[in-house]
């Protein structure tokens, strides 16, 4: 889980164009980092590519913090997850 979290933190920093130490577990993407809807989509594509998953659009509302994304990625990687592209 920590590996996932570190990977996600790195991706968020890169796409959000912020220093990695500004991205805490509960830092809010929109309110604290200025990540807008277009960048959230960019984040979705990057996560799909990195973790070999397919994120259903209705899950975009969970793109708010590293903790929430980590949880989502683990769910989608679980065997039998309907959205898994692996």
Partner 1 sequence: MSKRVVITGLGILSPVGIGREAFWTSLINGQTGIKPITLFDTSELACKTAAEISDFDPRVVLPGMKTGMLYRTAQLSCAAAKLGLDDAGIELDAATKPRIGVMIGNTLGVMQSYSEFYRGTLERGYLAASPLDFANTIAITVAGYVSVMFGVSSFNCVISSGELSSLNAINYGASFVRRGKADMVLAGGVEVLSLESYLLNYLPKFLSGSTPGQREFCMPFGKERNGTVLGEAGAFVLLEDYEHAVARGANIYAELRGFGVSFDSHAFVESAPRSKGLTRAISLAAKRSGLLPEDIDYVSASANSSVVKDKAEADAIRNVFGSTTDRLHINAIKSMTGESFSASAGVQVCASALALREGVIPPTLNGYEQDPECNIPLFSESREVKIKSALISASAVTGLAGALVLSTPQ
Residues in the site for partner 1, rule: CB under 8 A? 15-17, 34, 38-39, 41-42, 45, 48-49, 54
Q: Which of 6, 49 has the CB closer to partner 1?
A: 49
Local structure of 83: helix, strand or coil:
coil
Q: Which of 14, 62 has the CB closer to partner 1?
A: 14
Q: How many CB atoms lie within 10 A of CB 62?
A: 13
Q: Find the shortest distance in angstroms from Cβ 46 to partner 1.
A: 8
Rounded Cα gap, residues 7 and 9, in angstroms: 5
Q: Find the shortest distance in angstroms from Cβ 2 to partner 1.
A: 27
Rounded Cα gap, residues 60 and 58, in angstroms: 6
Widest CA span in the chain: 36
Q: Which of 55, 72 has the CB closer to partner 1?
A: 55
């Amino acid at each position: 889980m920590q590996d996932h979290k570190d990977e996600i933190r790195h991706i968020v920093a890169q796409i959000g164009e912020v220093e990695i130490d500004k991205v805490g577990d509960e830092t809010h993407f929109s309110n604290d980092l200025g990540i807008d809807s277009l960048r959230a989509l960019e984040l979705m594509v990057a996560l799909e590519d990195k973790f070999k998953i397919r994120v259903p659009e209705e899950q975009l509302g969970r793109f708010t913090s590293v903790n929430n994304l980590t949880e989502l990625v683990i769910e989608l990687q679980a065997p039998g997850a309907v959205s898994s592209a692996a």
